[in-house]
Chain A
Amino acid sequence: MNLALKDIRHGLFRFVLTCFGLGLLMTVVLSMIGIYNGLVADALAVVKAPAADVWVVESGTQGPFAEASNIPLTTRDAVARMPGVAEAGAINFQNIEAAHAGASLRLYVIGYEPGHPGGPQRIAEGRGIGTSHFELVADRKTGLLTGETIRLGRNRFTVVGLVEGAMNAGGDPAVYITLSDAMALQTELDPAAQRVQAARGAVSVKSASVAAVIARVAPGADVELLTATVRQWKHLAALTQAEQEDILVSSVVDLARRQIGLFLGILLSVSAVVIALIIYTMTMEKLKQIATLKLIGAPDRTIIGLIVQQALILGASGWGIGLVLILTVKDYFPRRVVLEPFNVMVLAGIIFAVCIAASGLGVRAAMKVDPATALGS
């Protein structure tokens, strides 16, 4: 006879309510884990997207994401001609606010050269950029649809394709346009301001600089040697893909990552205390019944089984409810919530350990109960 299940069935509504409460707490824990992962994944998304081996940036800077970098557009040709380089492309990044559907839309604009590295990896809907000007590929999170148009700076661009998971470290969804359009967007003034400047006799000069040049090396080529060679040019610096990712994680999103990490730690501690309290209280409420069981001859293993099984059922239910809830709502979060099976299993392990530890407290109290307390009143 399984006493734990019988007891749960007896107070089913209360137990389910407790499990649901614990499940909500687990939802918060899982969402924080997902937000933490999402922050890192978002930060790395834009770096990983071009599938580059080497990032060539302005000397003395840490690349286009950690700080501003400006290098001549001609650097691309110089890098492309280096031994071991399979292909190279120049790219530009900038944040802009655009008006769309009556609202302000914050976008991360990536300018790249079609036919060179730096563009979107996989088009989820529509097609890639096919003309030199005024076409864009947008991340789905922008809310833009293929065929729609949106004004960026002076010009109106047509959305020709959609991608997924392209955003910057701040979570702003990305749009891809041609490098020439991006450079123009960076330097051109809106028509009214331009007319004022023209009236003053100013001459518009387009800058021919880009944020970075990315290179893919040929099979068998030495990436370290290539970066070392690039660094010999005084005005350039070179970073491997791994170095670029390190900079982003340890510099750009470090504070936010640590902030969320610390909060997650506190949240886990609070959850552990809450679980322990629930299990301990559940046991304390049954002390008279435990005394009766001891008096009629129930061995310790029966009493331990009653407490531990209920604790594990509670923990497993809370974890399961939390997992189902977060999987149901995670796509409604404004920023990405990334849950890896490993994270979910680690949380299950933590809950298991907390349940065992908490039921240990309950078992200790139960073992101390004098069977004589079942007699009398």
Chain B
Amino acid sequence: MADGEILIDVKGVAKHFGEGETRVDALRDVDLQVRAGEVIALLGPSGSGKTTLLNVIGCILAPSAGKVTLDGETVFEGQWLRRDLRRLRLDKIGFIFQTHNLLPFLTAEENVAVVLDLAGWSVEKGRARVRELLDYLEVGRRAAAKPALLSGGEAQRVAIARALANRPRIILADEPTAALDGKRAGLVMDLLRKLAVEQEACIVTVTHDEKIFDRFDRLIHLRDGRLADA
């Protein structure tokens, strides 16, 4: 899939926190391109800039310099070029968290539906999409359960369904398998790869989980805010 459409194009991105003696350069002149269908991993020791880069791509954190283009739309070049970044996230980006972060007061089904509700899907279409996703991820029978009653694997699959619900083309995952055992972690990554291919999406994962390194197309190493290897 290396010849797919470029969905993430990060050029010369830098990010520093603080000034003077307290200045910390979290990212330095980072260039990264991710194509549709690709599943890549961001690796590196703690403080290397993995999460900062994920936040920049997720439009949560403004870079100090550089250019960010997502799904063909330049969203940052010296400043944010889109006012409504939340809408951008809703439409283009799906997030998968280390601890699933499902809303505890909603059922599994509602946790997925809330994204579609925010995106303006009709109730009928939304319900069908939620069913389709939950069944696909084999948690359809747990649709009415609250997150507290789901196992770790089930909750993570519901979280994946939520991330994919609005058909985003960019999936950002922060340690998605940290709470899962080796077998389940492999299954989740296989599932993500399958969905990436089917939805022509790309997946950027921050992980320390060596058990799943072989599931990625590329391993991107970050060290002191720079790309060390690609």
Contact = CB atoms under 8 A, between A and B. Distances in A.
Interface of A: 1, 3, 6-7, 9-11, 288-289, 292-299, 302, 370-372, 374-377
A296 B97 contact: no
A292 B103 contact: yes
Contact of B115 (A10, A288, A296): A296
B118 A10 contact: no
Nearest to A6: B105
Interface string B75-118: 00000000000111111000101110101111000100111011
A298 B84 CA distance: 11
B55 interface: yes
A372 B51 CA distance: 10
Contacts of A298: 86, 90, 114, 118
B146 A10 contact: yes
Interface residues of B, number: 32
B162 interface: yes
Given A297-B90, A376-B51, A370 B114 contact: no
Contact of A376 (B90, B118, B146, B174): B174
Contacts of B146: 10
Contacts of A294: 86
B61 interface: yes
6 contacts: A294-B86, A296-B90, A298-B86, A298-B118, A375-B60, A375-B174
B162 A296 contact: yes
Given A3-B106, A296-B162, A372-B61, 13 more contacts: A7-B105, A11-B105, A289-B104, A292-B103, A293-B103, A297-B86, A297-B89, A297-B90, A374-B101, A375-B95, A375-B174, A376-B51, A376-B98
Contacts of A9: 105
Instruction: Report whether over half of chain A's contact residues are helix, strand or loop; otherwise say mixed.
Output: helix
B223 to A, nearest CB: 20
A296 B95 contact: yes
B180 interface: no
A377 B87 contact: no
B182 to A, nearest CB: 22
Nearest to B116: A1
A374 B97 contact: yes
A375 B97 contact: yes
Nearest to A372: B60
Contacts of B89: 295-297
Contacts of B162: 296
Contact of A297 (B55, B99, B119): B119
A153 to B, nearest CB: 71
A289 to B, nearest CB: 5
B101 to A, nearest CB: 5
A257 to B, nearest CB: 47
B104 A295 contact: no
A297 B60 contact: no
